[in-house]
A and B are shown apart, each in its own frame.
Chain A
Amino acid sequence: MPLKHKALMLLLVALLAGVFCSGCWSRREPELLSLVLAVGFDYDEEEDLYQVFAQVANPIASGTSGGSSSDGSGGGGGGGKKPYATMEAKGHTPFEAIRNLIQVSTRELFWAHCRVLLFSESLARKGIKEVLDLFERERQFRLIVKPVVVDGDLRKLMEADFPLEESGARGLDRLIVTTRFARSIFPEINLNEFMVNLAQPGREMVMGRIEVLDTGQSGSEGGGESVSTVPARIGGGALFRGGRMVGWATAKQIQGWTYVAGRAFRSNFVIESPLGKGNRVSIEVLGHDARMKLRGNEDNWRIELEVKLHGRITDYSGPGDLGSESEFTRSLERRAAAAARNRIEAMLSRAQELKSDVFGFGNLIYRKRPQLWKKLAPDWEEKIFPELAVDLKVEFKLLRPGLVKEYLPEGPS
């Protein structure tokens, strides 16, 4: 290439560089953004409007709260400020409501870090499909948020402080994760799983429930006894039919659901010792396995549900010989199995009452015998599922006694 051409090319490059120096089209400067940590949707029936609450991290305050002993620039600029702020807005659709947040926000909202998605009970009962579609369609939202239905005042929960956490959203998130690993009384699912299951034929979904507690901060009327130090407690769930909530399930019932749905991690229950009244035994369940099978032929089919659990004793102070072949151990296992069965049956009858097939029995038929499902599908929700008798087998194996083999003896013997 001759020198003249090279010089020309260089000039061209230099000119082009100028074009790009103005920056990108869709740039976002971090100092103009603020991160939404949790979002809550409510529905205002009188005005027929969606109401959205967004909990937004406050960068000024959260920056200083971490190292308060540092030089304290700006005279403790954010010292007294909360590390987050809650904003609210209304709109005809979820997206309009979110856009209306801009009117009250001094910074552009950034949604990709949102971890928790809350629905008020009234919105859940009306239907959440519009919100689900927004989360699927819009690029900033992610389907890995955790959806929860709030039992109580949504605004109060969005503004609440968790004593151990920096922000309410972080508190909710941690609450869900810790409960999931220890108790299995809360259906921990992300929005993608929720929607995938909802879209499948013959299967309804459960969403976790958060109960708002009275912390006595606002509007307390002297009833100081029931005031709680934490703003929320989780456990139980809301049963959905399509995109609409149809009713609550208790923590016990949800425990039954997690056994069958294969979502249990650890769970526990208390049984009576077979030797003598008042001697209670705590059992922690560590292993869960559930199989669902469709038996029989087209005309005479039945659903078989086999749940196998295993676990260990976590407290017991009564007599008894915990041998591998002993009748006492067998008896404990039978009682534990019965306790687990109770929970599953409780959930099943609750689901049948609400006509919401949360175990996915219909989906099982759809998957294994699509032809049969075609026949059953029109009547499934209304007639067949509520009357369905499931062949339920529960087995429990006691594997370990814990670190001691026997209880602490008292006095001379």
Chain B
Amino acid sequence: MPREKIANRQLYFMLFLIRCNVAVALLPVLTTADALQDAWISAIVQFFPALLLLLFFGSLGQRFVGLTVAQYSEKLLGRWAGKGVALVIAWAFLHMAAVEVRAYADMLITAFLPDTPLVFLIGAMVIASATAAHAGIEVIARAADLLFPVYLLMIISSLLIPLPQLQGFLVNLEPVLARGAGPVLRGAATPALFTVQYLVLTVLAPTVNEPKRALRTAIWALVGATVILIPVAVITVAILGPQLGTRAAFPFFSMVRVIAISEFFERIEALAVFAWGLGLFIELAVYLYCGGRALSQILGMPDYRPLILPMAVIWTAFGSHVTRNMFQLMDFFKPHFFVPYALALVVVPFGLLWMAYLLRRLLRGRSGAS
């Protein structure tokens, strides 16, 4: 079976969409804590721990070029422990995907389709992305090529359109840092830990044209998403005010709803919702692909494709039941829950892998010296 290859550019697009999408959709810098008017500082601050985390799990993969995490964890930890660790990471993909598709479906039900069954919305999204995942990573990457400019155009235009109104609203950003650094750091916690999404890198890296530069590509994607997140936070807080911005369930969506330019140019929230849906499609397809790929390697299967359909079914059910209601969904993203959870998903498996790796080097170094 020929190995599929994607370009680093395509990896960049996919990772950018994955991160940008959740940052724009839920605007966690604003909604998950009490950063209020300082949310944009949180948007800057979150970059640094996110980068650290990415380096932490990304750089290990750079030492095993051409191998996915499922493969090198077996090498490092032995057969069974390695499979166990890889399973944790596969779980991370499934859970993140379920939570994100649920958030999207909840938004659609709240704002547009109150009578549509949840499972229908989730199922439709899952069928689309499962088809893409079945077609392979090359196909997903090409879809990302196509959708990235569209996505960017939609987000940027929904940021540019309110700009003429912005001047009178900038007072809403003051006072800056009035309550000290605490709220800012709390606001940065959840978005920083969203780096758990980038675990897909550990599966995707071997399929990239230049696997050695995969980590660098991921870092640039992180930078790009942060560059989008900062103006989104500034404009949303300015237009909605810190109080309403924090109270809104989907602040960016609410912000786009109140844009009205000179009597006839209004109701442009379709832009934001479309962008969210397009980004989500890529996101889910990548998760599903990575989950399937990792699982097939854990199970020792030659191809991941037979796994996609059962995974999609499980995932649809999981998406419908991952939270009981929207209140629980919002609590899930609160730092006191999300931070330890996401941290555990990253630190436990990769801490083990790093320890094994370092021990091995140490032992090998000693044997080489003697």
Contact = CB atoms under 8 A, between A and B. Distances in A.
Interface of A: 24-26, 112, 136, 139, 142-144, 177, 190, 192, 195-197, 199-200, 262, 363, 366-370
Given A196-B244, A200-B243, A367 B171 contact: yes
A369 B172 CA distance: 14
Given A139-B110, A190-B260, A199 B116 contact: no
* Most chain A C-beta atoms within 10 Å of own C-beta, residue among B112, B117, B120, B244: B244
Contacts of A26: 112-116
Interface residues of B, number: 28
A136 B240 CA distance: 11
Contacts of A136: 244
A363 B243 CA distance: 14
A195 B244 contact: yes
B260 A144 contact: yes
Interface string B98-117: 00000000000011111111
Contacts of B266: 142, 144
12 contacts: A26-B113, A139-B110, A139-B114, A143-B257, A144-B266, A192-B244, A192-B258, A196-B169, A197-B241, A262-B168, A367-B171, A367-B174
B113 A24 contact: yes
Interface of B: 110-117, 120, 168-169, 171-172, 174-175, 178-179, 239-241, 243-244, 257-258, 260, 263, 266-267
B248 to A, nearest CB: 8
B171 A25 contact: no
A143 B113 contact: no
Contact of B241 (A144, A200, A368, A369): A200
Contacts of B171: 363, 367
A92 B325 CA distance: 27
Contacts of B258: 142-144, 190, 192
A199 B117 CA distance: 36
B117 A366 contact: no
Given A142-B258, A144-B260, A199-B243, A370 B168 contact: no
B168 A25 contact: no
B175 A370 contact: yes
Nearest to B255: A192
Nearest to B111: A139
Nearest to B245: A196
Contacts of B113: 24-26
Nearest to B269: A142
A294 B115 CA distance: 53
A276 to B, nearest CB: 42
B241 A142 contact: no
Contacts of A262: 168
A26 B112 CA distance: 8
Contacts of A144: 258, 260, 266
Nearest to A360: B171
Contact of A24 (B110, B116, B260): B116
Contacts of B110: 139
Contacts, number: 62
A138 to B, nearest CB: 10
Given A196-B239, A199-B241, 9 more contacts: A25-B113, A192-B240, A192-B244, A195-B241, A197-B241, A199-B243, A366-B175, A367-B171, A370-B179
Contacts of B263: 177
Contacts of B239: 192, 196
Q: Which 5 A-B pairs have the closest CB atoms?
A: A370-B178, A196-B241, A367-B174, A199-B243, A25-B115
A112 B241 CA distance: 23
Contacts of B267: 112, 142
Contacts of B243: 196, 199-200
B117 A25 contact: yes
A294 to B, nearest CB: 11
A353 B107 CA distance: 45
A326 to B, nearest CB: 36
A138 B44 CA distance: 33
Contacts of B168: 262
Contacts of B117: 25
A197 B175 CA distance: 15
A195 B117 CA distance: 33
Contacts of A190: 258, 260
A145 to B, nearest CB: 10
Contacts of A367: 171, 174-175
A221 to B, nearest CB: 40
A79 B263 CA distance: 30
A139 B107 CA distance: 11
A207 B133 CA distance: 54
Nearest to A143: B258
Given A26-B112, A143-B257, A196 B178 contact: no
Contacts of B178: 370
B114 A196 contact: no
A35 B164 CA distance: 30
A369 B258 CA distance: 30
A313 to B, nearest CB: 29
A252 B133 CA distance: 66
A159 B191 CA distance: 52
* Most chain A C-beta atoms within 10 Å of own C-beta, residue among B114, B120, B257: B257
Contacts of B115: 25-26
B175 A196 contact: no
Contacts of A143: 257-258
Contacts of A370: 175, 178-179
B274 to A, nearest CB: 17
A175 to B, nearest CB: 14
Contacts of B114: 26, 139
A292 to B, nearest CB: 10
Contacts of B241: 195-197, 199-200
Nearest to B238: A196
* Most chain A C-beta atoms within 10 Å of own C-beta, residue among B116, B174, B239, B263: B174
A370 B169 CA distance: 19
A136 B257 CA distance: 11
A117 B154 CA distance: 31
A139 B175 contact: no
B312 to A, nearest CB: 15
A25 B174 contact: no
Contacts of A195: 241, 244
Contacts of A139: 110-112, 114
Nearest to A199: B243
* Most chain B C-beta atoms within 10 Å of own C-beta, residue among A24, A196, A197: A196
A51 B111 CA distance: 26
Contact of B174 (A112, A142, A368): A368
B179 to A, nearest CB: 8
B127 to A, nearest CB: 10
* Most chain B C-beta atoms within 10 Å of own C-beta, residue among A142, A177, A262: A142
B111 A368 contact: no
A213 B135 CA distance: 70
A199 B245 CA distance: 11
